[in-house]
Amino acid sequence: MAHPAKAGALGARRRWAALFVATCRLFTWLAVVLLGVLILHVTREGIGWLDGGFLSSYPSRFAEKAGIKSALFGTLWLTSLTALFSIPVGVAAAIYLEEFGGRGKLSAFIDINIANLAGVPSIVYGILGLAIFVRWFSLQRSVLAGALTMSLLILPVIIMSSREAIRAVPHSIRQAALALGATPWQTVRYHVLPAALPGILTGLILALSRAIGETAPLIMIGALTYVAFVPSGPMDAFTALPIQIFNWASRPQAEFHQLAAAGIVVLLAVLLIMNAAAIIIRHRSQRDRAW
Amino acid sequence: MNHTATALPPKRRRWSEEAIRGGLLVCALLSIATTIGIIAVLASETYSFFKHIPLFEFLFGTRWTPLLEPKSFGVLPLINGTFLVVVGAALVAIPVGLTAAIYLSEYAPDRVRSILKPTLEVLAGIPTVVYGYFALTFVTPLLQLIIPSTQVFNAASASVVVGIMILPMVASLCDDALRAVPHSLRQGAYALGATSFETTTRVVVPAALSGVMASFVLAVSRAMGETMAVTLAAGASPKMTLNVLESIQTMTAYIVQISLGDTPAGTIEYQTIFTVGSLLFAITLVMNVIANRVLRRFREVYE
Amino acid sequence: MVTPSPQPTARAADAAGSPTIIQAHDLSISYGTAPAIRNLSLEISENRITSIIGPSGCGKSTLIRAFNRMNDFIPNVRMEGVIEYRGANLYGPGVDPVDVRLRIGMVFQKPNPFPKSIFKNVSWGPSINGHRSDVDGLVEESLRRAALWDEVKDRLRDSALGLSGGQQQRLCIARALAMQPDVILMDEPCSALDPVSTSRIEDLLFELKKQYTIVIVTHNMQQAARVSDFTAFLDAGKLIEFGDTETLFTRPKEKRTGDYVMGRFG
């Protein structure tokens, strides 16, 4: 029993469906295209300035002589100190919330708190760091102040990803350990933490790579934009890769824009290495485990 | 260590266990301390500010010149600037992000998904200063080619770039929301003869609507807090305008500008950092809390 | 035939006169408002195998988890009544649950070896309790007692996850034995295993009972009949009948017991 009218309508509907899928596909590949354009543009602009001299010179008023040595070392110092503070505190907090916290009101409150903190703009953390670390603690514009500020910024991220890694460890392992007469902490220390370690590490690397790219909080606490020395202690002034890039990009001259591009290439390379490490860790750990 | 037939010894306090538990708790409480710190810091300086400048003038004034005589502290131009950038970013990110999520969750074969998802993650991981550079050196010249009257600093370039920045977030959250919709709903629609387009737009997306809307709100909140791209590309001229090709200033860019300068602590100009910061914090907090609550309830419905 | 007494007494006449090692008095356990065990009284005899049978949800697991205080980890669990171990109140105020678990060990339904080497699985428990001397000897002896030594003696450093299901469960038994406990609780230890592994473990139990007291939860009635000296039949949290296994299976006092062992329900 043919319904010609209905057949026609179905054809039109099918065409809409095809158009819709095509549009979806187009927009999605647009994202890939954008990424490609961005990387190409940056590389093309900056590649001319990338050489050994660039990596080993200090910034200068003269573009040909300028380099990112101080920024590289500053980032190194900053990231190391940030890791030093944020990793123990973050993982400890995650352990508490997952293993000892229970479901009481306090734990729920801390939970919501952390979720909110994760969404606070990074510049607000900079304002916090300015008031507390730079002024109140009198740390001035030191690497230490920067590291403490950055630690607060990435702490929620570390806590959330560590909690997920801990939660993924099967309950049966905990039960086995407890039944053998282990205390809850012994169970965590000898079984839960080692099992969750790859996941925690992956999360840590991703959190730190986020910290490396952040600029606004560092500007707020006074990271300098023209630094011709390498920090030798946590109380020294400093600059960092994103700050240097920002500084060069803010200048009107084209050469400095190209220097900024070169700096970006270095920054992206650093991030690429870190993310690759995270992916490798994740893959290797999934090979030899029971879950 | 033979435990056969030995009586239960009296309980002894395990000091190390309790000490460790205490230490872990302190670390967890640090998060609360951070929130208290943010609120306290912002509130105290803001309070001092409002002892000199009436709240009405701040919230509704249309001139923002805290560094130039005659000083004026009406924050609307900054809100205007932020608004332009955020709306523009949403116009870029929301359609593209939502359709990308639809494509990824409903249509894309696994092979394609395995390319696209990492691409989105990479886009999300690129530092904001890189996006600012891109806006300044690529997007603005491009815009100037198309529309010659585009200024060197303008809201549109920043919008585009902030949109690209929050795109992965929209796509990822919408993807989660769409995937949470049970398969049975889709299959019911197909069984009734619906095309994929009709199923997606009339069944799946409406079912995921609260999750999708929450993701939009979270992305917009993130766009509001964006700093480096707008500082580099949007300009430092606070003004009331709807022309996106002009130079403007957002709340975040203003805070950066003031910090880069030499404003002594305790002055009213210094306090504007905290006042504008409070406004930014309050708006993003409200948006995040609402969006998170909607998302939590949405997950409960489907899980 | 059946005159149910309100509280079935759980004292079984035992020809060899084995003393009571664990005793539950009027025990009631509930999760929140849902009761899991009601007014249960039971005696476990030393160096015997006591099995606990009953339909799903009757409270078997809850009961044995109460014996080694594993229920402590479940939020909003409430307990009334007393459990005594060698005359001492297991839940007394001066008692550390860790000390309880050193004496009363447990083997779980699904084998759960640690994702570590076979050797470490067995040696870990003793090592955190300060046992330092002759760890190798302890590991070997425990593996022998669990009838696993010959199969793994050449690969002690290999991952435990590489063992078969039956081997993993015997490893879990060895792990429990390494603690040199007094009592071993087993929560359906063979239900995830194939028949061959099951019978190997059942043979093991006859050897083990010479030195340890064993309480085994099982939904497999044939297993209970084969293996245990005493059997307790639970239904909906209540102890319906308790007695020596042969009597309970062939001439049960309660009708409900008879129905269950005949397979009429559960």
Give the per-residue pLDDT at B8.
Answer: 76
How many Å apart are CA B225 and CA A105, to the nearest integer? 30
Q: B215: alpha, beta or left, given left = phi > 0 and alpha = psi -120 to 50? A: alpha
User: Above pLDDT 90, what percent of chain C?
Assistant: 63
Of all residues in chain A, the percent with pLDDT exceeding 90 is 51
What is the mean pLDDT of the segment spanning B127-134?
Answer: 93
- List pLDDT tens digits, range B86-103: 999 999 999 999 988 988
Q: Contact at 8 Å (CB) between B258 and B160?
A: no
What residues of C are in the A interface, CB distance below 8 Å?
Answer: 68, 70, 73, 75, 98-99, 101-102, 105-106, 108, 110, 112-115, 124-125, 128-129, 159, 161, 172, 175-176, 179
pLDDT band at A12 (very low <50, low <70, confident <90, very high): confident
Peptide linkage before B70 cis (omega within 30 of 0): yes
Given pLDDT bands bounded at 50, 70 and 90, which one contains residue C222? confident
pLDDT tens digits along A250-267? 888 888 888 899 999 999
Average pLDDT over chain A reads: 88
> Over chain B, what is the mean pLDDT?
89
Mean pLDDT of C157-171: 93
pLDDT attached to residue C1: 41
Mean pLDDT score across all residues of chain C: 88
* C11 pLDDT higher than 50: no
The chain B residue lying nearest A134, using CA atoms, is B265
Q: What confidence tens digit (pLDDT) does each residue in B245-275 have?
A: 999 999 999 999 998 887 888 888 899 999 9
pLDDT band at C8, cuts 50/70/90? very low
* C101, closest residue in chain A (CA to CA): A181
CA distances in angstroms from C231 to A232, C29, C46, listed in the order given: 75, 21, 14
Report pLDDT digits (tens) over A116-159. 999 999 999 999 999 999 888 988 888 999 999 999 999 999 99
Question: What is the value of pTM for the model shown?
Answer: 0.89
**C96, C104, C129, C214: best mutation site toward chain B, by most B Cβ within 10 Å?**
C96
Distance CA B149, CA A175 (A): 70
pLDDT mean over B160-165: 93
Q: pLDDT at position B295, please?
A: 86
| Confidence grade of residue A6 (pLDDT, cut at 50, 70, 90) | low
In tens, the pLDDT along A20-57 reads 888 888 887 888 888 889 989 988 888 878 777 778 77
Q: What is the mean pLDDT of residues B40-66?
A: 90
Q: What tens digit of pLDDT does each residue of B191-200 get?
A: 988 888 888 8
For position A45, what pLDDT does the model report?
A: 85
3-state secondary structure of B286: helix
Pairing mode, if any, of strands C230-235 and C49-53? parallel
Q: Of A250 and B6, which is predicted with more confidence?
A: A250
Band the pLDDT of B201: cuts 50, 70, 90.
confident
Asked whether the predicted pLDDT for residue C5 surpasses 70, the reply is no
Q: Is B37 exposed, middle or buried (0-12, 13-18, 19+ CB in 10 A)?
A: middle
**pLDDT: is B77 or C57 the higher one?**
B77
For C125-160, the pLDDT digits (tens) are 999 987 888 899 999 999 999 999 999 999 999 999
Contacts from C225-230 at CB under 8 Å and sequence distance 24+?
C225/C249, C226/C202, C227/C49, C227/C51, C227/C202, C228/C48, C228/C49, C228/C50, C228/C51, C229/C14, C229/C45, C229/C48, C229/C49, C229/C50, C230/C12, C230/C45, C230/C48, C230/C49, C230/C50, C230/C51
Tokens of A56: 């080993």
Q: From C70, which residue of chain A is nearest by alpha-carbon distance?
A: A179
Is the model more confident about B297 or about C116?
C116
Q: Name the minimum distance, in Å, from the CA of A270 to any CA of chain B.
A: 11
Contacts of residue A35, defined as CB under 8 A and 6 or more positions apart, other chains included, come to B119, B122, B123
pLDDT at residue B113 is higher than 50: yes
Q: Are B276 and B238 in contact (CB under 8 A)?
A: no
Does the pLDDT of residue C13 top 50, yes or no? no
Rounded-to-integer distance, Cα A101 and Cα A107, Å: 6
Instruction: State yes or no: pLDDT of B78 exceeds 90.
Output: yes
* The Cα angle at residue C85 between residues C79 and C87, in degrees rounded to 5: 110
Confidence band for C7, pLDDT divided at 50, 70 and 90: very low
Model pLDDT, residue B303: 62
Cβ–Cβ contact B8 with A under 8 A: no
The closest CB to that of C103, out of B6, B10, B12, belongs to: B6
| Option in A41, A113, A121 nearest B138 (CB) | A41
The predicted complex's ipTM stands at 0.91
> What percent of chain A shows pLDDT beyond 70?
95
**Do B42 and A127 lie within an 8 Å CB cutoff?**
yes
Structure tokens at B195: 């095309």
In chain C, the N- to C-terminal Cα span, in Å, equals: 22
Can you give the pLDDT at residue B36? 95
- Residue C125 has its nearest CB partner, among A102, A175, A181, at A181
Report the pLDDT averaged over residues C2-29: 65
- At residue B291, does pLDDT exceed 60? yes
What's the pLDDT tens digit per position in A167-178? 999 999 999 999
